[in-house]
Amino acid sequence: MGISERKAREKQEMRTRIIEAATAMFMSEGYEKTSIRNIAEKIEYSPATLYLYYKDKDELLYEVQKQAFSQLEDAFAKEATSTDPLTRLSQICHCYVKFGKAHPEMYELMFMMRAPMNSIKENESWDNNTDSFVVLHNCLTECIEKGLIRFDDVMLAAFSVWSMGHGLVSLDVSCRFQGMGIDNTHVEQMIVTAIDHYLQLIKT
């Protein structure tokens, strides 16, 4: 029965068409300007149609978030390639910062906003971030195995490194470094310096 397969394919095409439009609007116009009606208008469908493919806006945001994480993974795969775990750790961190700087709206959706997390069903856990977290986790496992960093527990190390990176990026994204006595154009450099300093600190 090829007809039901085509239907399923068309349904999937519609789903990707929606999230691609949503993602594009998110990155160009920003979160504020992105409403269900705007997305519907962009793909030339009625707003009500979107609800045949996603149960509410949170679920849609969740799917956009998923795609954003897939982009972060790609960035890791491209830029964090060193076989030396310490070098790779540095690559991961700088890649993470670069990603946040390049796509602040996406970063907000991935790590800061509460909205997309609402669509997580009961007894189900958030797994959009797992793959990219595994990249960090594996790297730190290797670092610890070889005794390169001052951590015993891999999980503690992963959470610490991630928190430091996220803290720097998110405070920048939410403009909380402004008016803190540092020149605004030098913030980016300061973030890189802070990351490098931290990586020096955790070295054995």
Partner DNA sequence: GGATTTACTAAACAGTGTTCATTATATTTG
Partner DNA sequence: CAAATATAATGAACACTGTTTAGTAAATCC
Q: Which residues bind its own copies (CB under 8 A)?
A: 108, 111-114, 117, 120, 125-127, 129-130, 133, 150-151, 155-156, 159-160, 162-168, 170-171, 174-182, 190, 193-194, 197-198, 201-202
Cα-based angle 120, 122, 125 (whole degrees, multiple of 5): 55
Q: Which residues pair with 203 in a beta bridge?
A: 149
Q: Residue 82 has what DSSP assignment?
A: -
What is the C-alpha to C-alpha distance for residues 201 and 195, in angstroms, rounded to an integer? 10
- For residue 38, the partner it binds in DNA, its own copies, none, with Cβ less than 5 to 8 A by kind, is DNA
Name the one residue in this structure whose structure tokens are 């991961």: 92
Name the one residue in this structure whose structure tokens are 């594009």: 24
Choice between 18 and 60, CB closer to its own copies: 60
DSSP tally for the chain: helices H, then strands E:
9, 0
Contact 55, 64 (CB under 8 A): no
List residues near DNA by CB under 7 A.
1, 3-4, 6-7, 10-11, 14, 34-38, 44-49, 51-52, 55-58
- For residue 11, the partner it binds in its own copies, DNA, none, with Cβ less than 5 to 8 A by kind, is DNA
From 40, 56, 43, 96, select the one nearest 72 (Cα to Cα).
96
CB of 115 to DNA, least distance (A): 10
From 200, 183, 190, 140, select the one nearest 167 (Cα to Cα).
190
CB of 17 to its own copies, least distance (A): 28
Choice between 18 and 137, CB closer to its own copies: 137
What is the C-alpha to C-alpha distance for residues 171 and 27, in angstroms, rounded to an integer? 19
CB of 106 to DNA, least distance (A): 17
Choice between 43 and 199, CB closer to its own copies: 199
CB of 189 to its own copies, least distance (A): 11
- For residue 86, the partner it binds in its own copies, DNA, none, with Cβ less than 5 to 8 A by kind, is none
- For residue 55, the partner it binds in DNA, its own copies, none, with Cβ less than 5 to 8 A by kind, is DNA
